[in-house]
């Protein structure tokens, strides 16, 4: 119900309440009916369920089948190694997901407070959770609103609603009945749960508690909003299924071939296990997880905290960043940027020239001020804090000023008067200082202070001041006028006008450049704010955010936002439902959407977006609903994170391609060997060793390859882009054929010596092939000989480690487990000569592709 459209009497009647409050007995009845003023938590997923969910993957299913088959044919070591891999991967995934959804707990913190309530005509303090609809609450400066309420009394009441609406300027409240439909930010006679009283006092009757409040509705939205799979997760899911289908098909074909040759069922099972192990990169899930984890560590150094690992690569495909203006693009700190004095407009963003006239203007702003500006803490109205801050720049401190010229009386600001006055003792004279809306102030002035002298305020001078006010307002500045007089009484007439001060919540210094980098990278920046249209447009213009503007009221009227969403760059005067609607419309158009925010109002959109980015100084709710947190509140950190995300995705593509090319080679080695009537060239445990150690370490090193310099000069990859496109798959199979041909050649040639010697040759050949092959994937187009081979020291270390490990399983007692024998130097020379063919052939193909691209 829209209680802002009803009078105080009508609202009280609706709840059968009164100004002297409910009785304790009635409050108990209502508490039983409505429940506690707290948010209910939905069902939590048990830890065991989260752990078991890690095994829901096509690759995992096949590996579990491989374990079962291995146990059936008494290949216990193979079964144990595969089981350890699966368990390790499950533990890594479990750790990442266990602390996931805490949005509800964060929101509940807002309601964990005390409240002053009137019951049986007595003021008392009770836990806020015990409040009920119809309760009369008392509002005082510094208190937090415990529930949505309709104001009954308001005395200079101003509320900070930035956490709910995004509007940085405190809202003046009144008890006046409002007409027509109003947005939350325009409901001046209502106060809302989780917002704060900046100044003044009042009384209000509670209209909604718990889930029925505006913040409660947000909590419901958060719970109903489900996260979708990231692009990488979708890609890996597709790859897993494709590999599974291919594996089953090959195993079935081999089973038929083996059966036709009259081999036993046990032998066919062993071959099936070997093929399953060869086809599937068992280390792939673990390496992807480790790669993303290493990426998050690098991002921490760039002031970005990643909460959910897959978010790293999602950044790389982001096409739109929806930016909450307050606290993200701006400092969330009102700052005086312009003053008008002595018929001159002066920019105060640079050094301020101190003179007696400017000093008088600033002193009035300090006298007529109830904010506290400490070096560590700022309390009170941000507008008044801005006046203290600009005065401090020329050496005027409030405490020192009031000690010398103490305040005698105050006539507070109200939304009806639109001015505030104080009377101070200045050298034993009573002086009135007044600040307020410039048009109101000028009506009360009969004189003007110009160049150190008091002169009559003529129509021409008044017109100039009003024009100056309009010019400031046109820049979306909040403008205040300042005046004084000798106070013979409390009458605020015949004042002496001094000047104007214009202030704004200014943009962060590095944001403009960051937005330019986003545009170069093909990423659209969209501003979303609870502020007025003019303010939003002024900030957008300064930051070079171009596009049309749409207000929350206009959003309510449009049925399908997706039809026009591409043209809109600025959304003003919006509420949480609108933000969610914007994200949904952009996603409907195929965009990968990142949403930044710091307030409670941002949480549903943060969760619905492809990647939610919370501001470090923001609310717990926004942080818990997000995928990543900007620890330094710096918009440029988002751009750094996007660059890092793109680089990580490219590296993931590199090592997945490397792993698959190696595994295709291993499958083809076995497949072709059986086709031409040769025995198994590789044993199951040897294949597992290849996948986990000798090709796993270089793959992991590829995941931390240095990011290429032109990463942020290309457009985002398409959302549904296939990681394994036709060109890449053709290259992978070609490499696999080179692997197979070289290995089978060496294997067949060595069979005349002994089978165990031949399998050792084949085993070692595949390892050396992989060491040359990893160099191919440093770049898909550039020659390895033109790049800096040693700029990835981890890759060099991985290659050396893999070679040493191979020597370990050949020349130590481990050879009995891996069924290998020692190889002579001549065998190594032949293996290296044949294996290097994979690097030489691919280098020739890269030359061909580069020439074709030039043509």
Residues assigned a catalytic role = 324
Q: Map 541-579 to HEC letters.
A: HHHCCCCEEEEHHHHHHCCCHHHCHHHEEEEECCCHHHH
CB 407 within 8 A of CB 386: no
Which candidate, 122, 123, 106, 101, places its Cα nearest to that of 114?
A: 123
DSSP sequence for 800-824: HHHHHHHHHHHHSTTHHHHT-----
> Position of tokens 């807002």?
110
Chain center to CA of 273: 43
Q: What is the C-alpha separation between 275 and 38, in angstroms, rounded?
A: 57
Contact 86/63 with Cβ under 8 angstroms? yes
3-class state of residue 620 by DSSP: helix
**Distance (Å, whole) CA 365 – CA 383:** 10
Answer for the pair 757, 821: CB distance below 8 angstroms, yes or no: yes
Token digits of residue 303: 């002031």
Residue positions counted in the chain: 855
- How far apart CA 629 and CA 621 sit, in angstroms, is 12
Furthest CA-CA distance within the chain? 119
CA neighbor of 572 nearest in space, from 557, 586, 553, 585: 553
Instruction: Name every residue whose Cβ is closer than 8 Å to that of residue 794 and which is 6 or more positions away in sequence.
Output: 700, 701, 704
Q: What angle do CA 320, 321, 325 make, to 5 degrees?
A: 140
| C-alpha–C-alpha distance, residues 515 and 712, integer Å | 12
Crossing angle (nearest 10°) for helices 265-279 and 76-98: 40
DSSP label at residue 629: E
Q: How many CB atoms lie within 10 A of CB 122?
A: 10
Residue 372 token pair: 């506290």
Give the separation between CA 816 and CA 218, rounded to whole angstroms: 64
Instruction: Look at residues 134, 116, 114, 132 and name the one whose alpha carbon lies nearest to residue 124.
Output: 116
Give the pair of three-digit tokens for residue 199: 């100044």
DSSP 3-state of 199:
strand
Residues 474/407, Cβ–Cβ less than 8 Å: no
How many other CB atoms are found less than 10 A from the CB of residue 718?
A: 12
Whether residue 149 contacts residue 215, with contact meaning beta carbons closer than 8 Å, is answered with: no
- Kindly state the tokens that stand for 653: 């593509």
Residue 682: alpha-carbon gap to chain centroid: 47
Report the C-alpha gap between 287 and 855 in whole angstroms. Answer: 38
Evaluate whether 725 touches 780 at the Cβ level (below 8 Å). Answer: no
Q: Report the b/e string of 563-589 with b at 16+ CB within 10 A.
A: eebeebbbbbbbbbbbbbbbbbbbbee
φ and ψ at residue 587, rounded to 5 degrees = -65, -35
The CA distance from 377 to 544, in Å, is 33
Q: Based on C-alpha coordinates, what's the Rg of the chain?
A: 35
Asked if 59 and 85 count as a contact pair (C-beta separation under 8 A), the reply is no
Going by C-beta distance under 8 Å and a sequence separation of 6 or more, which residues neighbour residue 614?
A: 596, 597, 598, 602, 606, 622, 623, 625, 626, 628, 629, 630
């Amino acid at each position: 119900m829209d209680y802002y459209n009803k009078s105080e009497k009508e609202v009280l009647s609706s709840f059968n309440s009164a100004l002297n409050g409910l009785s304790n007995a009635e409050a108990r009845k209502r508490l039983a009916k409505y429940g506690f003023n707290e948010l209910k938590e939905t069902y939590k997923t048990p830890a065991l369920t989260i752990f078991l969910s890690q095994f829901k993957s096509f690759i995992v299913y096949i590996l579990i089948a491989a374990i079962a088959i291995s146990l059936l044919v008494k290949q216990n070591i193979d079964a144990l190694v595969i089981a350890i891999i699966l368990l390790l991967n499950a533990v890594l995934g479990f750790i990442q997901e266990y602390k996931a959804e805490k949005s509800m707990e964060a929101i509940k913190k807002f309601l964990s407070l005390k409240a002053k309530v009137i019951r049986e005509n007595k003021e008392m303090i009770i836990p806020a959770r015990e409040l009920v609809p119809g309760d009369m609450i008392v509002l005082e400066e510094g208190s937090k609103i415990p529930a949505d309420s309709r104001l009954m009394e308001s005395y200079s009441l101003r509320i900070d609603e930035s956490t709910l609406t995004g509007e940085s300027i405190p809202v003046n409240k009144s008890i006046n009945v409002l007409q027509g439909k109003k947005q939350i930010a325009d409901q001046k006679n209502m106060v809302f749960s989780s917002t704060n009283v900046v100044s003044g006092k009042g009384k209000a009757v509670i209209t909604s508690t718990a889930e029925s409040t505006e913040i409660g509705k947000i909590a419901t939205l958060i719970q109903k909003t489900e996260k979708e799979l990231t692009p990488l997760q979708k890609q890996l899911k597709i790859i897993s299924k494709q590999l599974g289908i291919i594996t089953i098909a090959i195993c079935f074909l081999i089973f038929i071939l083996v059966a036709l040759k009259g081999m036993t069922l046990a032998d066919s099972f062993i071959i099936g296990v070997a093929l399953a192990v060869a086809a599937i990169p068992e280390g792939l899930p673990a390496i992807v997880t480790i790669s993303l984890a290493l990426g998050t560590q690098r991002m921490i150094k760039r002031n970005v905290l990643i909460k959910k690992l897959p978010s790293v690569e999602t950044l790389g495909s982001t096409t739109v960043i929806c930016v909450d203006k307050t606290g993200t693009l701006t400092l969330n700190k009102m700052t005086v940027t312009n003053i008008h004095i002595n018929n001159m407009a002066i920019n105060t963003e640079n050094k301020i020239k101190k003179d007696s006239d400017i000093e008088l203007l600033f002193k009035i702003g300090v006298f007529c001020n109830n904010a506290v500006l400490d070096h560590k803490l700022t309390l009170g109205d941000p507008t008044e804090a801005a006046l203290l801050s600009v005065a401090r720049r020329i050496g005027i401190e409030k405490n020192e000023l009031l000690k010398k010229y103490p305040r005698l009386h105050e006539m507070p600001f109200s939304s009806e008067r639109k001015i505030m006055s104080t009377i101070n003792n200045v050298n034993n004279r009573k002086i009135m200082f007044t600040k307020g809306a410039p048009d109101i102030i000028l009506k009360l002035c009969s004189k003007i202070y110009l160049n150190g002298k008091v002169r009559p305020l003529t129509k021409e001078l008044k017109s100039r001041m009003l024009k100056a006010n309009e010019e400031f307002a046109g820049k979306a500045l909040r403008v205040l006028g300042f005046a004084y007089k000798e106070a013979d009484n409390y009458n605020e007439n015949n004042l002496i006008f001094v000047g104007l001060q214009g202030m704004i919540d200014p943009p962060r210094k590095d944001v403009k450049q960051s937005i330019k980098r986003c545009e170069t990278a093909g990423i659209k920046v969209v501003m979303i704010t609870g502020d007025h249209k003019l303010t939003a447009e002024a900030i957008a213009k300064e930051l070079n955010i171009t596009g049309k503007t749409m207000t929350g009221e206009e959003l309510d009227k449009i049925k399908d936002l997706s039809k026009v969403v591409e043209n809109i760059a600025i959304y003003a005067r919006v509420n949480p439902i609108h933000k969610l609607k914007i994200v949904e419309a952009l996603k409907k158009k195929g965009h990968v959407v990142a949403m930044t925010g710091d307030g409670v109002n941002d949480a549903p959109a943060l969760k619905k977006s492809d990647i939610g980015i919370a501001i470090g100084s923001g609310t717990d709710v926004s942080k818990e609903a997000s995928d990543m947190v900007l620890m330094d509140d710096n918009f440029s950190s988002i751009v750094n994170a996007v660059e890092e995300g793109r680089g990580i995705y490219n590296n993931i593509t590199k090592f997945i391609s490397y792993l698959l090319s190696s595994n295709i080679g291993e499958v083809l080695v076995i497949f072709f060997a059986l086709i031409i009537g040769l025995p198994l060239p590789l044993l199951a445990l040897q294949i597992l060793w290849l996948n986990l150690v000798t090709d796993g370490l270089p793959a992991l090193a590829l995941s931390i390859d240095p990011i290429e310099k032109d990463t942020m000069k290309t457009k985002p990859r398409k959302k549904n882009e296939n990681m394994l496109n036709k060109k890449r798959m053709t290259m992978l199979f070609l490499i696999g054929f080179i692997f197979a041909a070289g290995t089978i050649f060496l294997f067949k040639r060595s069979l005349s010596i002994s089978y165990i010697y031949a399998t050792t040759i084949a085993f070692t050949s595949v390892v050396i092939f992989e060491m040359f092959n990893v160099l191919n994937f440093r770049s898909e187009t550039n020659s390895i000989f033109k790049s800096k081979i040693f700029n990835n020291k981890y890759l060099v270390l991985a290659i050396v480690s893999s070679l040493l490990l191979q020597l370990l399983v050949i020349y130590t007692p481990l050879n009995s487990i891996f069924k290998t024998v020692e190889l002579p130097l001549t065998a190594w020379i032949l293996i290296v000569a044949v294996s290097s063919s994979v690097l030489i052939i691919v280098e020739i193909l890269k030359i061909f592709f580069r020439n074709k691209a030039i043509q």
